[in-house]
Amino acid sequence: MLKVYHLEGGNFSEAGSASSDIKKLLKRLGLQSKIIKKVAVAMYEAEINVVAHAYSGDINVVVAKDHIKILVSDKGPGIPDVDKAMTEGFSTASEKVREMGFGAGMGLPNIKKNVDDLNIKTEVGKGTELSMRIDFQH
């Protein structure tokens, strides 16, 4: 199964709708709630990062028999230092974004904790591509 979503930078009120759509889909498929939670957290954080830090983005979700793959690619500033960005507490979120409750610097670490495989490709000035896989069996 393949699902595609589009994201606009700065559009916070729509952020989270792709992840909740996938959550509902996985629930219908009868997956364990523990797995659904992992997918929801990882996908939401990736979605919010595009909205908070990039200009626009696309999400492709592939649901296979034993895993889910989520690819989030954006046009945006890219991430100059990925190791630093992965550190809990590191954030470049603007004041406006912080007032909305984002910018704890926990999103990428949250993603890492919840997925079985994470790959970040990024180019400064162009954009970022985050691909993650979550296995259904553990």
Ligand X SMILES: Nc1ncnc2c1ncn2[C@@H]1O[C@H](COP(=O)(O)OP(=O)(O)OP(=O)(O)O)[C@@H](O)[C@H]1O
Positions that interact with other proteins (CB under 8 A): 12-13, 15-17, 19-20, 23, 33, 37, 40-41, 44-45, 48, 100-104, 106-107, 109-110, 113
> Using CB under 6 A as the criterion, what x/- string covers residues 28-47 for binding ligand X?
-----------------x--
Closest CA to 3 of 41, 35, 43, 31: 43
Judged on CB neighbours under 10 Å (0-12, 13-18, 19+), 128 is buried
Which residues of this chain interact with ligand X, rule CB under 6 A? 45, 49-50, 52-54, 74, 76-79, 85, 90-93, 102-109, 128
Binding site for Mg ion (CB under 5 A): 49, 107
